[in-house]
Amino acid sequence: MSGSIDVRGLSRTFHTTVRRPGFTGALRSLVNPERVAKQAVCDISFDVAPGELLALLGPNGAGKSTTIKVLTGILTPTSGTARVAGVVPYEERERNARNIGAVFGQRTQLWWDLPVRESFAILRDIYEVPKAEHAARLKEFDDLLDLSSFWDTRVRHLSLGQRVRSDLAAALLHDPQVVFLDEPTIGMDVVVKEQVREFLRHQVEQRGRTVLLTTHDMTEVERLAERVVLINHGRLVLDGSLDEIRRRFGSTWQVRATLADAHTEVQPLPGIEVLRHEGARVVFGPASCEGADAPTVHQALKAVIERYEVTDIAIDEADLEDVMRAAYVHAEAA
């Protein structure tokens, strides 16, 4: 299917040599190396619809980059299958290359000694993009990423933010249906980050590109992703919308209410318990036994207002960072 990603039972095992500690250990490793198999990705299945932005999340070493490398055709899976825009990437690398664009963090694909615009021209000819089309796309990217202010500068003299913006443009100049972004905004300042997010939103909403994004920046996830796939130790832990994840791992809200009458008898509400009660001030939280079925903070707010007469009310909600931390801890324990 055009622009879709389909991953079924994907596994990838690496074989590495164990380096034993100390001088004797190093000698033993030299004479009798011990090889171990490390499963970086294990039986992962998910799909991404055309025009969807999916955040592939997980702690360091979870297997995110390995998954992306398989989907870009760089690595061949040990087992399982993957299709990107209808192409098996590791079997038809060149055909796949025309359908995809990729940015790997701070690793630039631009030519270090040349001005940015020269790199764009090289890529234009490699991807056989007609000149008029290239010029129009470059103008569109310039409007969004402000490239013209530095595109005559040699890559070695660019700031990190300028280089990543150039790399993003370079990855999309050939109009790929699918874009893989492996921690694209790592180390960038907030202004450039926002510019990049706006650019990505535009590419998804206006151009209909499918984007697979890995990041540790939860603000980015919150602002861009509709759906999240969480992997840990190479295994898929969760695949769902942000709301679903919040419901499952983010029930750490609190509703702080000041009652009109300090002598009101306060009772727990369905799915909501009283955490603290001091005079007129009451703090409600999700009932610990409810788990994933606990009411959302907005449902709780409504329930408290309907049941009690309050003079002041405020909510504290766990941000996505807390939610993901809880999800990682849960995945670790599992």
Partner 1 sequence: MALLHAWRTARVTPLGELHTPPRMTAVLLRLTVQVVLVASLWHGLYAHTGTTAGMDRDQAVTYAVLAVLASRLRELDQYAGRDTVLQHMHFGTIVYWYLRPLPPQRYHALRALGEQLYGFTWALGGYVVCLAAGVVQPPGSAAVAGVFALSLLLGQLVLYHVMLVLDQLCFWTVRNNAAMLILVFAQNLLSGVYAPLWFFPDWFVTMSAFLPFQATLSVPLSLYIGRIPLSDAAGQLAVQAAWVLLLFLFTRFLWRRAARRVMSQGG
Footprint of partner 1 on this chain (CB under 8 A)?
A: 64-66, 68-69, 72-76, 93-95, 97-98, 100, 102, 104, 107-109, 111-115, 118, 121-123, 125-128, 154, 156, 182
CB nearer to partner 1: pick between 131 and 281:
131
Helix/strand number for the chain, H first, E second: 11, 13
- For residues 162 and 251, which CB has a smaller minimum distance to partner 1 in the complex? 162
Q: How far apart are CA 247 and CA 265, in angstroms?
A: 29
Number of neighbouring beta carbons within 10 Å of residue 152: 10
Closest CB 100 distance from partner 1, rounded Å: 7
Residue 215 half-sphere exposure toward CB, CA atoms < 13 A:
28
Q: Which is nearer to partner 1, 153 or 254 (CB)?
A: 153
Q: State the nearest-atom distance from the C-beta of 83 to partner 1, in Å.
A: 17
The smaller minimum CB distance to partner 1, of residues 60 and 206, is found at: 60
**CA-to-CA separations, 286 to 249, 292, 295, 297, in angstroms, rounded:** 12, 10, 7, 9
Q: Side chain identity at 168, as an amino acid letter?
A: L
* Residues belonging to the chain: 334
Min CB(90)–partner 1 separation in Å: 10
- Report how far residue 254's alpha carbon sits from residue 257's, in angstroms, rounded to the nearest whole number: 10
Sign of the torsion angle spanned by Cα atoms 123, 181, 84, 143 = negative
Residue 28 beta carbon to partner 1: minimum distance, rounded to whole angstroms:
21
Asked whether the CA dihedral 198, 201, 205, 207 is positive or negative, the reply is: positive
Confirm if 250 and 318 have CB atoms less than 8 A apart. Answer: yes
Is the Cβ of residue 3 or residue 115 nearer to partner 1 in the bound state? 115
Q: Which is nearer to partner 1, 9 or 61 (CB)?
A: 61
Give the H or E element holding residue 236: strand 235-241
Query: H/E element holding 248?
Result: helix 242-249
Minimal distance, residue 281 CB to partner 1, in Å: 49
Q: Cβ 104 to partner 1, closest distance in Å? A: 6
Residue 230 or 300: the one with the smaller Cβ distance to partner 1 is: 230
Least separation in angstroms between residue 85's CB and partner 1 is 14
Of 71 and 236, the one with the shorter C-beta distance to partner 1 is 71
- Rounded to 5 degrees, φ, ψ at 206 are -90, -35
Two tokens at 243?
């709301």
CB of 323 to partner 1, least distance (A): 24
